[in-house]
Amino acid sequence: MPKKYFRKFLPSHETFKQSRWTRWLGGWLHHPNLWHLNRHSVSGGVAVGLFTGLIPGPLQMIGATLLAVLFRVNLPVAVVTTLYTNPFTIVPLYALAYELGVFVTGYHNGQSSVNLSLPEMTWVNWPVVMLDWIVSLGKPLAAGLPLLALSFAIAGYFSVRMLWRAIVIWEWRKRASRRR
């Protein structure tokens, strides 16, 4: 059921292959697993999206695309999954990554508490302000971000696999009860 529901929103493999916007990429984006909805491809796409979602700025979708092509997992799922980070969630996620980094490294930047609130930003200066804010958090953030991204990716991968398996078993049982 979920497969049929999502299939109507995704482009077909042939449509994508013949698009003038993607034809120049040759065979890079034409691997069938990049577009198929199966347990392996979708769970891998979720893992890639959760991992790259913590990359700052607009680079997360580019990173998700590159890793999805590299690992041959569902590309649209990987790109859409990166959207769990947004202006409302980025500060709590980076605070969690910072705290995880402090826990793992034991390094506190010589401060008892770091100011995790975002500085004042405008539409013009936000990239520079965000970069300065991230750099000010230092080693704990540098250690915590990859660890948090990896733990999100592993949890997402196995959660999707288990959920997919549970739905398949439920469908089997429903079909078996209809036959009786």
- Asked if the model's pLDDT at residue 28 lies above 80, the reply is no
The confidence band for 180, taking pLDDT boundaries of 50, 70 and 90, is confident
Contact 32, 150 (CB under 8 A): no
pLDDT of residue 112: 46
Is the torsion defined by CA of 50, 51, 56, 57 positive or negative? negative
Question: How many domains does the chain fold into?
Answer: 1
* Average pLDDT rounded to a whole number, residues 22-32: 68
pLDDT of residue 110: 57
32-48: burial string, b at 16+ Cβ within 10 Å, e else: ebbbbbeebbbbbbbbb
Phi-psi region of 99 (alpha: psi -120 to 50; beta: other; left: phi over 0): alpha
- Asked if the model's pLDDT at residue 53 lies above 70, the reply is yes
Q: How far is CA 129 from the centre of its chain?
A: 24
CA distances, 148 to each of 63, 95, 166 (Å): 16, 11, 26
Provide the residue range defining the domain that includes 148. Answer: 2-179
- Asked if the model's pLDDT at residue 10 lies above 70, the reply is no
Which residue in this structure is represented by tokens 């590309």?
75
Computed over every residue of the chain, the mean pLDDT equals 83
Report the C-alpha gap between 142 and 129 in whole angstroms: 17
153-174 residue pLDDT tens: 999 999 999 999 999 999 999 9
pLDDT of residue 2: 60
Q: Which of 13-17, 77-81, 89-93, 115-119 has the highest mean pLDDT?
A: 77-81
pLDDT of residue 113: 53
In Å, the largest CA–CA distance within the chain is 69
Contact 140, 109 (CB under 8 A): yes
Report the C-alpha gap between 57 and 79 in whole angstroms: 14
